[in-house]
């Protein structure tokens, strides 16, 4: 009986449970936590990303499991969580990088794209018809001043 009560509250992102929880957001956090380990270190003139790739089924191609993705010439991101969500968010960010280049005739800054991705992830926690992204991400690269940035 308790599971049928819970199912009333986990089908929509905008519906709070009687305890004040948004189950869809909690599910996304759990998916992110169950992802593989992702770390990044920023040095004086470099950034190093490290990701753990867990054992996969024999039918799965490990080359398709990309945990570090390039968003622009100077921007990379490492993901932990749901692989499909990371691809969707990366594609959204790539389009924004291209749009920024067209509108401003300059490469986007790491700070700008990091804020853009954060805003997209936040919108998906409030918008009906979609679910929150089940990922955590680390973004880094070099701005026009050639200094490494890590978010």
Contact 72, 144 (CB under 8 A): no
pLDDT in tens, 82-91: 888 999 999 9
Q: Is 15 left (phi over 0), alpha (psi -120 to 50) or beta?
A: beta
Nearest to 91 by CA among 128, 66, 122, 111: 66
pTM: 0.80
For residue 5, pLDDT over 70 is answered with no
DSSP H/E element including 28: helix 23-33
């Amino acid at each position: 009986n308790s599971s049928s009560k819970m199912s009333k509250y986990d089908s929509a992102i905008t519906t709070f449970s009687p305890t004040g929880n948004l189950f869809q957001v909690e599910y996304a956090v759990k998916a992110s936590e169950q992802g593989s380990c992702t770390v990044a270190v920023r040095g004086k003139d470099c950034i190093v990303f490290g990701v753990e790739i867990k054992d996969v089924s024999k039918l799965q191609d490990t080359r398709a499991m990309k945990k570090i993705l390039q968003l622009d010439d100077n921007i990379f991101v490492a993901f932990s969580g749901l692989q499909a969500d990371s691809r969707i968010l990366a594609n959204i960010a790539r389009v924004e990088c291209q749009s920024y280049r067209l509108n401003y005739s300059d490469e986007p800054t790491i700070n700008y794209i990091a804020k853009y991705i954060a805003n997209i992830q936040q919108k998906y926690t409030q918008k009906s018809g979609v679910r929150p992204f089940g990922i955590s991400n680390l973004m880094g690269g070099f701005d026009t001043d050639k200094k490494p940035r890590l978010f």
